[in-house]
Amino acid sequence: MSVLIRNAQRAVPLRRVPLRRAVGALLAALGAARFDVALVCAANSTMRRLNAAYRRRDEPTDVLSFPFHEVAAGELPRPRRRDEYNLGDIFLGVEYIGEQCRAAGEDFHGALVVNTEVFKLCIFFPGHTAYSIYLCINILISNTDM
């Protein structure tokens, strides 16, 4: 399993290590530790362009996910080859998230890990119960200070 993090923006400084650890812990909790996932940290301009192209909304957003596999709710992909052990790409609008955090007086790094990763990675596994999501949140919260 690998978690690829690409910082494609300069507006907000990032802490990659806690983010990588949190995503790895979430993948393990979901039983998907053998899969790869890519995170792209993007500026508002990139998020606006992607949001317009894929969701027909001409505005920046916090997160967009692009799953590699189409699976039924609650199922993990069943790859046949090594290059199919990929969950997909997640674009994080870190500039947008930073703006929202400043407006709400929240910690950016905590919000980045908890509010985005839990919900978007769980979208790759839509049939998981509320308890599984609760477990994921607790794992991520315990890893944000590392």
The per-residue pLDDT for range 56-97, each reduced to its tens digit, is: 999 998 888 888 887 766 677 889 999 899 888 888 888 988
Residues 6+ apart with CB under 8 A from 86: 35, 36, 37, 68, 69, 79
Whether 105 shows a pLDDT value over 90: the answer reads no
* Per-residue confidence (pLDDT) for residue 137, from 0 to 100: 41
What confidence tens digit (pLDDT) does each residue in 35-44 have? 898 889 999 9
Give the amino acid at 14.
L
State the average pLDDT over residues 104-115: 66
| 3-7/63-67 β-pairing | unpaired
Tell me if 132 sits within 8 A of 29, measured CB to CB: yes
Domain of residue 70 covers 3-143
Tell me if 37 sits within 8 A of 86, measured CB to CB: yes
* Per-residue confidence (pLDDT) for residue 27, from 0 to 100: 80
* DSSP structure string for the chain: --EEEEE--SSS---HHHHHHHHHHHHHHTT-TTSEEEEEEE-HHHHHHHHHHHHS--S--SEEEEESS---TTPPP--SSGGG-EEEEEEEEHHHHHHHHHHHT--HHHHIIIIIIHHHHHHTSTT--HHHHHHHHHHHHHHTT-
pTM for the model stands at 0.76
Rounded CA separation 74/72 (Å): 6
Split into its structural domains, the chain has a count of: 1
CATH classification of the domain holding 118:
3.40.390.30
